[in-house]
Structure 1
Amino acid sequence: MFGKDKEKSGGDSSHSPEPDNVEEGMLATNVDDLQRHLNNRQIQLIAIGGSIGTALFVSIGGGLYKGGAANLLLAYTIQSCVLALVNNSIAEMSTAYPVTGGFIRLAGHFCDDALGFMVGWNFFFYEALLIPFEISAFTLVLSFWSDTITEPGPTAGIIVGIIICYALINILAVRAYGNPQHDAYGFRNWKRGGAFREYITTGDLGKFEGFLGALTSAVFTVVGPEYISIVAAEAARPRVYIKAAFKMVYVRFGIFFIGGALAVGIVCSSRDPALVEIQTEGSNGSAGASPYVIAMNNLGVDVFPHIVNALMLTSIFSAGNTYTYAAVRTLYGLALEGRAPAFLKKCTRNGVPLYCFFVVMVFPVLSFVQCGKSASVAIGWFASLVTGGGLISYIVMSITYIQFHRACKAQGLDRKTLPYTGWFQPYGAYIALAWMFTVCCIYGYTSYLPWNTSNFFSNYTMQLFIPWLFLIWKVVKKTKWLSPMEVDLVWERPTIDAYEETFTEPPVGFWREMGQLLGIGRIKGGNDQRRPSVVAPMEGLAGHGVDAKHL
């Protein structure tokens, strides 16, 4: 249906000559046309850029309003802990198999090609739809300085400018990537019913519904491991840098998400008139929707809201750029496995999937919808639509790891020999699977109270549509769910092992790379230097046990 057999899709000589893939005298870095240019610092920043965006600064206000400060903290803590279990699973597989397409190709390789097809297109639409979400948020934040920005003309101009910036960044190359009012905050916003707020109904049921409202915000906001898995194929030293990036996810969960939920509940009351007006009327399309901006306005110091908004702009722009990158690489990974048209495998000499990029850049055009409606309405619509897609990805990651763990046990592979060994496995994967599946079913419960057809489809479109992709591909391609003994646990590992043996210097840490930007501790010739191979590239790979079909 799409392209050639997946075993041959890794190297299409009609699209890219061999020099694009193998440096002269060097071993191959990948079995496809992507190039391993990303260093430790760039990987960490891409992961941060995809994790911290509009949801953490703006959408979190909805969770605070619905659930209250304590419910918000509880929801973000639980979701962060469960997603840490998912991170623990995908880290073990992605460091051992840092392949193009990340967890998407892992699902197809370890479980069923139909599962890889389903989760691949699910994640592509998830990332592609997040791009207009962030663009809408960008104009929302800009409107803090001028209400005229929300008018159709200025809004359209800003959208065009952002799309052009994303295009330039992604097409060039990967490597171009106190208290003035004397008022102590403390936990006063947790008092007088502010900790566990009633939502929709009253009493204990209302407080539980408030928790579910806060959980909906947490599910959309708390993300991270998927971006590291996707970027693994372009890491200069995947065994080291990807492993370090996955470990930093736990720190980000604690500081940014759990810490952010705690901070929001402290600095802004769930009953703040400005927050209540925004959440109930939904007509205010300004950056005042952020609880952080509301808190700064309450301080009475004019400069603080401007500083907060400026910082938010940089984060939102960075997040949108990361989503563009992830969507392009996801589509490219689908093409490699024959799950998308073969022409999408075309890459530039710098390793940029050219036609995948053109397809992805169609989606930012959806941000023009805010020219007819307010930016806040557009943001809410995009957020509801993609949340289910994120949950589906985490469900598949957990299923994939369970299958991988069974295969390792059946084939006698000692997981302790892998670059990263997950803890509390496979029980952690089972817990994550059960939690994510439950949340996937109930997070849009407000559609039933009372019944609202529009809200139902905005919350459950992905859950209703995506499983059909699995069934259609399974019927058309007659795919099979692999048994543990049928899973290929060698795959592309010899290619990566041979590649990493060519490095002549030890890896450079994140903080040293940051110092090198300032001219401190630079290494002559640059980081991640490699020695030339004494044999031809194909012979070198064959000597490490790589079958010719993988080249």
Structure 2
Amino acid sequence: MFFTFVVMLGGNPIGDRFGFRYWNNPGSFQEYYKTGDLGRWLGFLACLIQASFTIAGPDYVSMAAGETVNPRRELPRAYNGVFYRLTTFFVLGTLCIGILVPYDDPTLKNAFENDLPGAAASPYVVAMDRLKISVLPHIVNAMVLGAAFSAGNSYVYCASRSLYGLALDGKAPRVFTKCTKSGVPIYCVGIVLVIALLAFLQVSNSASIVLQWFVNLVTASQLINFAVVSFTYTRFRKACMAQGISRESLPYRSRGQPYVAYIATVCTAVMAFVGGYEVFLPGNWDIPTFFFSYTMIGVFPVLYFGWKIIHRTKVRKPEEVDLVTGLAEVEEYTRNYVHVPSKNPFGRFLDFVFG
């Protein structure tokens, strides 16, 4: 963002003070499939569908609760940190991209059309090349590599812990409960790493199509997951109200509830249905794309109702929901926990900002 601010005001080797030029020529919205307002809306929708793949992340924070020293104190800080980071890097980062590069840049279009690897499709690298900036593109490449490693590390952790939790609940083979002496679910990590090898499909143009199918499948799964999480919160809130548990007693309280949860439930559910809408446009019908975009929408109710029927479970009323099992132990641990302030200045700054 600092880079964008500097170069847009002329701080670049060619002295081009371009400002918001590309918002006027060729424009801030590209037409997609159709012309006019409908085409611009479809272009925005296409970007929104791609962005929905990144919806996973905030919910991953809660997965670390079982391995956090003092979750009732640390997790609220983490939630606040995630919110501000997403707002800063995703929203403002998108704004910067629109400022730096026009959507019809030939280098950028070629990178996407030919599935060029690495940071070749990065708008920042394209902008640096346009402005004759050297060295920085290599730094961006290194940052992209670091970000990919960080994301991979996060996904391996979350996926392996999810599989481990399913195994403990009897919803996955018991072999996945096997842990090392240090507590690492070794078989869970192993199977996740094997699945991660699918990423090598990207090295081939033809195989990258298969990878895109998996991306569509995962995106739909994440959207459904987020919709379920949001809906579950609304039921949790009703259970608290029915059992006389004050919201003020909770260690973390987000703003705008329950309306934000309702909005999130509806929006994510709608996005799951429109994620593969392009196959319904004239001349775009593709059976594999259709199935990989909408399979999870059909699988989800089958799994849900199948579990209900086979195990004869029922939907509990708000006053019947168990909100107290294990709570006494957590509260006792929290009361006896002694917080040691950070000696690092940066750590103290984070304590001040995020509580």
User: TM-score, normalised on structure 2?
Assistant: 0.88
Deviation of the 1:358 alpha carbon:
2.3
Change (3 A) 1:443 1:341: same
- Tell me which amino acid in the other structure corresponds to 2:280: Y
- Tell me which amino acid in the other structure corresponds to 1:326: C
**Is 1:475 matched up with 2:316?**
no
Q: Deviations over 1:249-304 (max 9, x none)?
A: 2211221110110011111110101122233x335345311212211211212312
**Is 1:227 matched up with 2:55?**
no
- Equivalent pairs: percent with the same residue? 44
Provide the residue aligned with 1:499 in structure 2: 333
Selected match of 2:187 from 355, 359, 367: 355
- Residue pair 1:332, 1:344 contacting (<8 A) in 2 also: yes
Matches within 5 A, 1:409-420: 409-420=241-252
Provide the residue aligned with 1:401 in structure 2: 233
Deviation of the 1:348 alpha carbon:
2.1
Report the Cα distance in structure 2 between the residues aligned to 1:420 and 1:383, rounded to whole angstroms. 33
Report the Cα distance in structure 1 between the residues aligned to 2:121 and 2:28, rounded to whole angstroms. 20
The structure with the greater share of residues assigned to helix is 2
- Tell me which amino acid in the other structure corresponds to 1:493: L
241-250 or 459-468, which deviates more? 459-468
Deviation of the 1:309 alpha carbon:
0.5
Provide the residue aligned with 2:171 in structure 1: 339
Q: Deviations over 1:344-376 (max 9, x none)?
A: 222222221122222222202223434554686
Number of aligned residue pairs: give it: 337
- Tell me which amino acid in the other structure corresponds to 2:287: T
Report the Cα distance in structure 2 between the residues aligned to 1:183 and 1:389, rounded to whole angstroms. 44
Selected match of 1:203 from 36, 59, 82: 36
Selected match of 1:294 from 126, 133, 137: 126
- Residue pair 1:388, 1:440 contacting (<8 A) in 2 also: yes
Change (3 A) 1:211 1:265: same
Report the Cα distance in structure 1 between the residues aligned to 2:151 and 2:206, rounded to whole angstroms. 21
Provide the residue aligned with 2:353 in structure 1: none
Deviation of the 1:430 alpha carbon:
1.0
Report the Cα distance in structure 1 between the residues aligned to 2:37 and 2:233, rounded to whole angstroms. 37
Selected match of 1:439 from 264, 268, 271: 271
Report the Cα distance in structure 2 between the residues aligned to 1:512 and 1:347, rounded to whole angstroms. 35
Report the Cα distance in structure 1 between the residues aligned to 2:314 and 2:69, rounded to whole angstroms. 34
Change (3 A) 1:284 1:418: closer
Change (3 A) 1:511 1:327: farther
Deviation of the 1:214 alpha carbon:
1.4
Provide the residue aligned with 1:252 in structure 2: 85
Provide the residue aligned with 1:243 in structure 2: 76
Report the Cα distance in structure 2 between the residues aligned to 1:379 and 1:316, rounded to whole angstroms. 16
What SS does structure 1 have at the residue aligned with 2:25? coil
Change (3 A) 1:312 1:379: farther
Change (3 A) 1:315 1:371: closer
Matches within 5 A, 1:44-123: none
Q: Deviations over 1:314-360 (max 9, x none)?
A: 11111111100011110111122221122322222222112222222
- Tell me which amino acid in the other structure corresponds to 2:266: A
Change (3 A) 1:378 1:314: farther
Report the Cα distance in structure 2 between the residues aligned to 1:511 and 1:393, rounded to whole angstroms. 38
Report the Cα distance in structure 2 between the residues aligned to 1:331 and 1:359, rounded to whole angstroms. 10
Change (3 A) 1:378 1:317: farther
Report the Cα distance in structure 2 between the residues aligned to 1:361 and 1:466, rounded to whole angstroms. 25
- Residue pair 1:297, 1:304 contacting (<8 A) in 2 also: no
Structure 1 stretches lacking a partner, 5+ long: 1-177, 516-551
Deviation of the 1:512 alpha carbon:
4.5
Report the Cα distance in structure 2 between the residues aligned to 1:301 and 1:425, rounded to whole angstroms. 47
What SS does structure 2 have at the residue aligned with 1:491? coil
- Tell me which amino acid in the other structure corresponds to 2:139: I
Report the Cα distance in structure 2 between the residues aligned to 1:444 and 1:228, rounded to whole angstroms. 29
